[in-house]
Structure 1
Amino acid sequence: MNYWALIIIFIFCSVYGYPQSSIQSGYVYLDENRNGHFDQGEKPLPGISISNGCDIVQTNGQGEYKIPLLDDGVIFMIKPSNYIPALKDENISNFFAFHRPEGSPGLKYEGLAKSRLPDQVNFALYSNPGEEEFRVALLGDTQVEKIEHVSHVAKLVAEQLINEQVDFVVPLGDLVFDDLDLFDPLKKVLGRIGSPVYYVYGNHDRNYDAAGLVYRDETYKANFGPSWYAFNYGEHAFLVLNNVFPENGTRKFEAKIDDLQLKFIANFIKTVPTTHSVHLLMHIPLEELANRDALFQMLKGHAHVYAYAGHTHTQYFKNFKENEGWPNDKPLSELVAGAVCGAWWLGNKDIYGVPVSMMGDGTPKGYWIMDVDGSSRTLTYRVSGNSTNDQMHIWTPPASVDHQPSMGDNDILVNVFAGNESTEVKIKIEDGDWILMEKVLEPDPFYVSQIIAMEQQKNPDEKMPYYRDKFPVSQHLWKARVPSDIGSGVYKIIVRASDDTGLNAKSQALLFIK
């Protein structure tokens, strides 16, 4: 398909009334000597997608593109499969350029400096074969509020991931807790992992004093790049969304995708073969998205769609089916990936001075690893600072949670941190038979006991976690009754959990019977 035919296919956003200042042009090329310049003899790359945040065009046979430049806009390249962009400082991909003749408006936190794009904006790519298999680190809310928290991220995440050999890292928004000056030290820490980092924008990453949608993310842009974009990796398309829709003049917001971004999504999906997997990366989960139906309809015909979010400081899986507006036979599978910060870095501290900060559903703070092999994917939860085998917590009686009637003296409860609706959890006592445990929707008893203990301490310097419900319901809790005919003594119990996401875990505990 030729270049001008593609222009006809992608309806330009200027037609919809978005102001444009000029036509931007440039080249995409294979930077064989990796010097960042389009040198004579270097290969131009055709068929590479370029966007202004709304329109998408593709480079012609000579590697050239032409696209309208929207006022106060951006030009970015959509990474093609089996190539990778050059990296900026802190391992942020060099795939974008901003056009800001007047710079960002006066804001509390520094935004984009004054800049005009040159006549040509060229993008360099390196060859990156072998994208059939790759590994991704998914980080729920880091939400650092002070520099001490950045040190915790370094210790609990960056130092662990340095040895993981991940292909790229995705922090899923709420990078900071309103103090946007912490963007800089945080990106320096995550950049030391040594892999490209693709950032997602969250509601606490916002310029609260900005007027209108256009400037809600100025400081974010100055540090990380556009707040919505896309990239391809093998036969997988990744779509990064900004679904934080602010209410002007207030700190309130709605989970919603704005019209300009919706047009970009529609244009991008047209470039993705229906046989490829689509991965939606966002901060606020899909179940809270006001215009979810519009997004879903754009994905009609795509059989393999997955979503990843943060925001809730709990973690769970959710499948969207036809009765919830999903237009395809195979459900959309969403992972709400918890939080690196757990419960906002709150709670008692461990021996190293790091807050225990357990999430409200009883999940220890941590992050996820996604391994992709062809069209299959495996998801593994990593508890920060712990063994990779640490996948569950077993609660055995006697219990001391007096006000929780569901937690009796004869209940064993197991919190499988990566559990979902398909997870099968079995238990056995000593050499007895395996017994299938019952999935229940209840608060995690260990979390409840910790909150009660914190309340009793009444330490004025310790903040309490602020969930909407004091004791949130856990989505990954299983229960079994202790057999009534068991005699007094100390027994070894073994629990195993498995499912179709790749979970295959086993743990053990001791059961005391008086």
Structure 2
Amino acid sequence: MSRSFLTGIVLGGLLLGSLSGTIQAESKTEQTATGYVFQDTNQNRKRDPGEQGLACVRVSNGREVVCTDQSGKYELPVTDDTILFVIKPQGWRTPLSKNLTPEFYYIHKPAGSPQSKYPGVKPTGPLPASVDFPLYPQKEPEQFRAIFFGDPQPRDQKEIDYIAHDIIEELVGTDASFGVTLGDILFDDLSLFESQARGIALLGIPWYNVIGNHDINYDAPNDKLSDETFERAFGPAYYSFDYGQVHFIVLDDIEWIVPEENKKTKKEKKGHYQGGLGKEQIEFVKNDLQQIPADQLVVLMMHIPLVGVEDRQDLYRLIEKRPFCMSISGHTHHHEHRFITKEDGWRGPKPHHHIINVTVSGSWWSGSPDERGIPHTMMADGAPNGYSIISFDGTEYDLDFRAAGRAASYQMNILAPEEVTADQTSEIEIFANIFNGSERSKVEMQVGESGSWTVMEKIDDIDPSFNKLSETENAVEGKKYRNLPKAKKSTHLWRTKLPAGLKPGTHLIRIRTVEMDGDKHQSGRVIRVLPAKPAEKTASTSGTEK
């Protein structure tokens, strides 16, 4: 997958960056790109006379990171496959496309992308004499919120419509400052990038994109060329930006592997992907972080979870000494808070917090449809499909789990029988799936108004509710919906037993939780307790034998 970075806007086959000056002669050897970062006061995306250059703004070619001088000028080396991009500073915004995707890059591919099933970048021509980046001032409070989508992964337009009705409609009018899709924007059909982006643009906020394993060109002969269509649609596959007091880094952790022996034959090349970053991207992260203060929160955004990245140790060495750093991914279609420790080679003074985000598509748009015709698509860990909203406040952050089509208060599923007999209560297990729970959550149960609160036991097991649901739905013959996946162990499941001595009647079970960030949630479930069954009379064994 391409580890190069460029900047600009693709429109009608032309890159509409704020380019000025005469065109330099094209060269196949390394060249030096020069340009300015400037305040675009008349908003025409061109650096006009009198428009002020901006000093100390970072610009990168996907490897080196330089700061503009007092006049706003920078210089960077480029090859014939480079993406130059500005690292958006705090208090400024970049231009936005008609679909509100940030346009902070200029793509330099003089010959364009190689031919593939899904087209990449058209030839960009010779390197311009000046590659300029316009910026616009904006207010960025220290406290803000961002939306995170994991794996929307629509196969076709019908499933893009599912996303619109299940997620987008309820988010219109959001007060979030921006949003991010954490990869698998699509499910292999890269012709749908535009349609998917149009739907998300209805939210009216800037939207960043992370590349996933279903967003690459599978006919690419190597990793470097596997991002070409993504680059045409969204620009570089890895980059960074500031918002408020937080520094965000988007990573491309999809490595496309084509075996060498297949390259020597005319047979169809069968490649595969793995989690990986590559030396060039690691070098970019190193150079980027060198200019970020230690007391600034750094958020790494990727697709494959960090513990599944082959060269993650190289990344660990760059972030493990930073006191404020977290990461977030998608890919596995479950929701989890993972704390990376020395068992995985982490050398930091405290565990690294990595979030595997709930997915928009849940279990790949599977399961029986609801009254809207949209599959319920519950994830295999027993949590519903949905998204996250993270609130940032300086170096602090707080993740809120949001289930699609549900109230914000829907944070758990309680599994209990409808009825039990009074003599059975102490044998009956109650389960609570706390969707955003973690090993640092405290979960308790109370039965009735006067019952005592009992601490529930965290278990790593499959959710019995999802297991029953998947077995029941998948057994239906002639169904027109996709099978649910096999249940997987949940990392946010708790268990306890009902107290003994419950009197016959209708009782309310209450479950309350305090999550790692202090958020409190409570929910309830009604259960009926029936009178104990009378003991069965045993037959008399007395009598006269004959």
1:241 maps onto 2:251 in alignment = yes
Aligned to 1:344: 364
SS at match of 2:203: coil
Matches within 5 A, 1:420-499: 420-431=438-449, 432-459=451-478, 461-466=480-485, 470-499=486-515
- How far apart, in 2, do the equivalents of 1:277 and 1:202 lie? 24
Instruction: Compare 428-437 and 452-461 and name the one that shifted more.
Output: 452-461
Structure 2 counterpart of 1:165: 175
**1:192 deviation in Å?**
1.6
1:417 aligns with 2:435: yes
Offset at 1:501? Answer: 2.2
Shift of 1:126: 1.2
Aligned amino acid, residue 507 of structure 1? S
SS in 2 for 1:206: coil
Q: Name the aligned partner's letter for residue 351 of structure 1.
A: E
Q: Does 2:377 align with 1:357?
A: yes
Contact 2:33/2:78 (8 A) holds in 1: yes
The whole-number CA distance in structure 1 between the counterparts of 2:453 and 2:43 is 58
CA contact (8 A) 1:28 1:59 kept: yes
Post-superposition offset of 1:502 = 4.2
Which residues in structure 2 correspond to 1:12-411 (within 5 Å)?
21-116=30-125, 117-248=127-258, 249-397=269-417, 410-411=428-429
Distance in 1 of aligned mates of 2:187 and 2:227: 14
Contact (CA 8 Å) 1:366, 1:382: kept in 2 or not? yes
Distance 1:305 1:436, change over 3 A: same
1:330 CA displacement = 2.8
Alpha-carbon distance between aligned partners in 1 of 2:349 and 2:528, rounded to the nearest angstrom: 48
Distance (Å, rounded) in 1 between the aligned partners of 2:419 and 2:236? 50
Moved more, 391-400 or 284-293: 391-400
> Do the aligned partners of 1:52 and 1:70 also contact (CA within 8 Å) in 2?
no
1:18-71 C-alpha deviation (Å, 9 max, x unpaired): x85311111001122322222222221011111111111111110001100122
Question: Which residue in 2 is equivalent to 1:4?
Answer: none
SS at match of 2:295: coil
**Higher mean C-alpha displacement, 113-122 vs 367-376:** 113-122
Q: Distance in 2 between matches of 1:130 and 1:111?
A: 34
Offset of residue 480 of structure 1: 1.2
Deviations 1:258-292 (A, max 9, x none): 11111111111111111111111000001111111
Query: CA separation in 2, counterparts of 1:174 and 1:261?
Result: 20
1:247 corresponds to which letter in structure 2?
Answer: I
Judged with a 3 Å threshold, the aligned counterparts in structure 2 of structure 1 residues 363 and 300 are, in CA distance, closer, same or farther, namely closer
2:416 and 2:427 mapped to 1: Cα distance? 9
- SS in structure 2 at match of 1:198: strand
Give the 3-state SS of the residue equivalent to 1:35 in structure 2. Answer: coil
Instruction: Give the Cα–Cα distance (whole angstroms) in 2 for the partners of residues 70 and 177 of structure 1.
Output: 31
Counterparts of 2:65 and 2:500 in 1: how far apart (Å)?
Answer: 66
Whether contact under 8 Å (1:380, 1:502) holds in the other structure is no
- Rg bigger for which structure? 2
Moved over 4 A (4+): none
Could you list the per-position Cα deviations for residues 410-433 of structure 1 after superposition, in whole angstroms to 9, with x for gaps in the alignment? 111011100011111111111111
Counterpart of 1:142, as a letter, is P
Contact residue 397 and residue 409 of structure 1 kept, 8 A? no
Aligned letter for 1:294? D
**Greater mean deviation of Cα atoms: 113-122 or 140-149:** 113-122
Per-residue CA deviations over 1:167-210 (Å, capped at 9, x if unaligned) read 11010001111111111100111112111111000001110001
What SS does structure 1 have at the residue aligned with 2:34? strand
2-structure distance, mates of 1:351, 1:399 = 28
1:242 shift after superposition: 0.6
Letter in 2 for 1:442: D
Query: Kindly, what percent of the aligned residue pairs are identical?
Result: 32
Q: CA deviation at 1:131?
A: 3.2
Which SS does the other structure have where 1:181 is aligned?
helix
Contact 2:427 2:497 in 1 (8 A): no
Higher deviation after alignment, 449-458 or 140-149? 449-458
Aligned pair count reads: 486
Residues of 1 paired with 2:349 and 2:141: CA distance? Answer: 28
- Quick one: which amino acid aligns to residue 288 of structure 1? G
3-state SS in 2 of match to 1:152: helix
Shift of 1:409: 6.5
Offset, 1:257: 0.7
Aligned counterparts of 1:156 and 1:463: Cα–Cα separation in 2: 18
CA contact (8 A) 2:418 2:526 kept: no
Letter in 2 for 1:418: N
The one-letter code of the counterpart of 2:510 is: I
* Local SS of the residue matching 1:199: strand
What does 1:490-509 align with in structure 2 at a 5 Å threshold? 490-509=506-525
1:45-100 deviation per Cα after TM superposition (whole angstroms, max 9, x unaligned): 01111111111111111000110012211111111111111212210111001111
Please state how far the C-alpha of 1:399 moved relative to its aligned partner.
Answer: 9.7
The letter of the residue matching 1:416 is I
How far has the Cα of 1:513 moved from its partner?
Answer: 2.5
After TM superposition, the structure 1 stretch with the greater mean CA deviation from structure 2, 488-497 or 342-351, is 488-497
When structure 1 is superposed on structure 2, of 69-78 and 483-492 the one drifting more is 483-492
Deviation at 1:499, TM superposition (A): 1.9
Asked if structure 1 preserves the Cα contact closer than 8 Å seen for 2:389 and 2:400, the reply is yes
CA shift, 1:394, in A, is 0.6
CA distance in 2, matches of 1:399, 1:54: 63
- What's the offset of the Cα at 1:241? 0.5
- The verdict on how the C-alpha distance between 1:380 and 1:42 changes in structure 2, with shifts beyond 3 A counting, is same
1:403 paired residue number: none
CA pair 251-417 structure 1, distance change in 2 beyond 3 A:
farther
Distance 2:478 2:513 in 1: 38
TM-score (norm 1): 0.92
Aligned to 1:12: none
